[in-house]
Structure 1
């Protein structure tokens, strides 16, 4: 059996919820293909426009690393080390730059690649979690007196936008997001209303909006090739996506977030959603614990490290 097929079979055995592609990606002109330590790596370089609001979700210049391997740690360390050197040769930096990074995605249960990335200077930044059974959910905390939950709507936009801005600022403190000239807040709220109008909610304290959770509904096609972008990381069917979740700091610790998320999950279940995907920060100490208590388990890790000076 060839390396790529064996790698995919190993991942399927580790976690049946992973989406395992049938073929390796088509090579692009600037790709680097690296063979070392008995493994294979693909390094793909990307540059983003800082004027694009979606560039806030990562560094402007990224070398994306994908590895196929047999689980041998020492071989993986050699493979990743060579990939780091290839990224340095590509970008040719005179000084360390926080906007020029290597990035890697690894299945959470693939402990060999986790160890290799840690040994070669990568740090975990975020996690993709999966909630595999919407029917088994913990009950929500009772909302405090004077609080109500309502669907996200155009009427709430102006109150919701400052919350999304605050979420971006908070995540920037942990290097999950990056400040940009144009905030993505308005486009994110518009997207939430268009793709998850039935399953996104706000919490009000009196007339003030103090919390928000947005979700995307599953696609309508059973064809894996037509899955929404957020569902392509899992083999599960009828998958929704939990996108934005934020509660004003003064209102945390009261069950507001738990009630919001439970409302969103219940709405997703009513439209036939079977599982949920969420991306959340590893570096924010309040994030992982919240989603794990909510029922999500790690599916993938996202890693970064700065490109070395050449």
Structure 2
């Protein structure tokens, strides 16, 4: 879908000025429905809305609504006003829709754009997820006595799955929706990870008992890839999940795990590491900043979609 060249050029220039780590802003999505608006001085802004539907057995339900309407805004250098009038137009566009309870409106936007944040908040969207990159180094501290870190094995599956489900249940209170079939959605990915010769899944044991795990992957951001729309080109270490047993959270197990994970990614030539966390999660929102991560993109959402103001 084409938009005016002057608007797109201003869009790219603004992204480059907001955050030096942002990759070059991609062109508008090819598919979707267009929403147009104009500022008080007559400057045109636009957006593309795409809809995604997830079935009951689809893994994205672990972090997403079943019915998602995502807006890709192009507001150039119009700041708060441009985002505000575009969201107003989207709200009018939504009047013709009939979203159910398990639905959302989503805008993924650079985390450092304070002007846009003002408009997003005013329209009822909240920061539900952040893509964070590691730009600092946490002062490494020795693990507590009795804590060891090792690679996971296939026979660790039951314990790993139980921990993953417990963390999903916790996050369901503060961020994403709780899914009663979380175990079935989580199991295939963990099985695939454990089936590899050298799984990127580590366990922390305390006094011989499994107490936490970290699950990671390698991701390539290459020209034209979906990852290149979010990350600079390179070979990235992706931290998919870090889980600590209830009752042991905050005891240093996560830090001990990530010390090993970061060292292995560095030794294997990672250009950087990144992850997603929930800003509304009172544990992860503190932990990841202490590990040297900071937000690059934030996913702003409102649930259900009809609650968009």
**Aligned residue in 1 for 2:89:** 82
**Distance of 2:53 and 2:89 partners within structure 1:** 21
**Distance of 1:223 and 1:278 partners within structure 2:** 18
Partner SS, residue 213 of structure 1? strand
**Distance of 1:195 and 1:67 partners within structure 2:** 40
More off after superposition, 54-63 vs 141-150: 141-150
**Distance of 1:254 and 1:189 partners within structure 2:** 25
More off after superposition, 193-202 vs 11-20: 193-202
**Aligned residue in 2 for 1:174:** 174
CA contact (8 A) 2:24 2:229 kept: no
**Aligned residue in 2 for 1:72:** 79
Q: CA deviation at 1:212?
A: 0.7
Partner SS, residue 169 of structure 2? helix
Residues 255 and 169 of structure 1: is their aligned pair in 2 closer, same or farther, counting only changes over 3 Å? same
Q: For residues 81-230 of structure 1, what are the structure 2 equivalents within 5 Å?
A: 81-90=88-97, 92-93=98-99, 97-132=100-135, 137-181=137-181, 183=183, 184-193=185-194, 197=198, 199-219=200-220, 223-226=222-225
2:55 corresponds to 1:54: no
Equivalent residue in structure 1 for 2:305, among 301, 304, 307: 307
Aligned length: 297
Q: CA deviation at 1:9?
A: 1.4
Q: CA deviation at 1:230?
A: 5.1
Q: CA deviation at 1:309?
A: 7.2
CA contact (8 A) 1:240 1:276 kept: yes
RMSD across aligned positions (CA): 2.3
Residues 223 and 105 of structure 1: is their aligned pair in 2 closer, same or farther, counting only changes over 3 Å? closer
CA contact (8 A) 1:16 1:235 kept: no
**Aligned residue in 2 for 1:295:** 292
Q: CA deviation at 1:288?
A: 1.2
More off after superposition, 38-47 vs 279-288: 38-47
CA contact (8 A) 1:230 1:241 kept: no
CA contact (8 A) 1:88 1:307 kept: no
Partner SS, residue 281 of structure 2? coil
**TM-score with structure 1 setting the length:** 0.87
**Distance of 1:139 and 1:200 partners within structure 2:** 23
2:267 corresponds to 1:266: no
1:100-136: CA deviation from partner (whole Å, max 9, x where unpaired): 210111101111211110011111111110114xxx6
More off after superposition, 113-122 vs 181-190: 181-190
Q: CA deviation at 1:76?
A: 1.9
Q: Which runs of 5+ in 1 are unaligned?
A: none
Equivalent residue in structure 2 for 1:250, among 236, 247, 251: 247
CA contact (8 A) 2:237 2:274 kept: yes
CA contact (8 A) 2:127 2:279 kept: yes
**Distance of 2:215 and 2:16 partners within structure 1:** 30
